[in-house]
């Protein structure tokens, strides 16, 4: 038997599909645009996800736990934050591939503050995004944004990591 949460999710999905179908039947342009946007996003994710999962699998297998513990673990120094920034820089696809990599980093021995730095850097310091941004808003703007963002990402990661470690927080195994 289906529980109430699943019933609500399935009902919302059918309501969404019904809205899109009615939008095309009655030529409701806003609803049609929502449908086109969803289809475009879905196709983009459908093309991107297999590559992301392959790369994440390779990362998980090729990078040894000892390497992560040495460079990003509890005994690593300030340089570990630079490693997290460098690891996050070339990520393409936004945060979609960053979260599974962060999960793998944590379970291979990276400090929580390093994992948060990696996620934050993947959100704001990606090289492809920065190049795109610089082409539209200028190099000066991009450099100022990075000069402000990177220290804030690192400081907030250290604070949040220390706070959660004092609370004995653990990411659940999946």
Gap between the Cα atoms of 164 and 99, Å rounded: 18
Contact 60, 104 (CB under 8 A): yes
Query: According to the model, what pLDDT value does residue 124 have?
Result: 92
Ramachandran sector of residue 3 (left: φ over 0; alpha: ψ -120 to 50; beta: rest) = beta
Gap between the Cα atoms of 146 and 152, Å rounded: 10
Query: According to the model, what pLDDT value does residue 174 have?
Result: 62
Tens digit of pLDDT for each residue in 31-45? 999 999 999 988 988
3-class secondary-structure state, position 166:
helix
Q: What is the pTM of this model?
A: 0.74
Tens digit of pLDDT for each residue in 124-155? 988 888 888 999 999 999 999 999 999 999 99
Pick from 96, 73, 89: nearest CA to 124: 89
Query: According to the model, what pLDDT value does residue 128 have?
Result: 85
Residues 6+ apart with CB under 8 A from 117: 81, 84, 85, 88, 153, 154, 157
């Amino acid at each position: 038997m289906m529980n109430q949460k699943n019933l609500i999710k399935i009902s919302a999905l059918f309501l969404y599909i019904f809205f899109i179908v009615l939008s095309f039947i009655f030529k409701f342009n806003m609803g049609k645009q929502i449908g086109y946007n969803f289809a475009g996003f879905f196709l983009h994710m459908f093309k991107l996800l297999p590559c992301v999962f392959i790369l994440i699998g390779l990362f998980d297998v090729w990078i040894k736990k000892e390497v992560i513990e040495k460079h990003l673990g509890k005994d690593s120094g300030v340089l570990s934050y630079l490693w997290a920034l460098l690891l996050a820089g070339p990520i393409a696809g936004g945060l979609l591939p960053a979260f599974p990599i962060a999960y793998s980093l944590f379970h291979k021995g990276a400090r929580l503050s390093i994992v948060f730095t990696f996620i934050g850097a993947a959100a704001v310091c990606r090289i492809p995004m920065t190049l795109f941004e610089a082409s539209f808003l200028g190099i000066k703007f991009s450099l100022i944004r990075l000069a402000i963002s990177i220290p804030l990402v690192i400081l907030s990661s250290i604070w949040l990591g220390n706070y959660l470690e004092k609370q004995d927080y653990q990411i659940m195994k999946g």
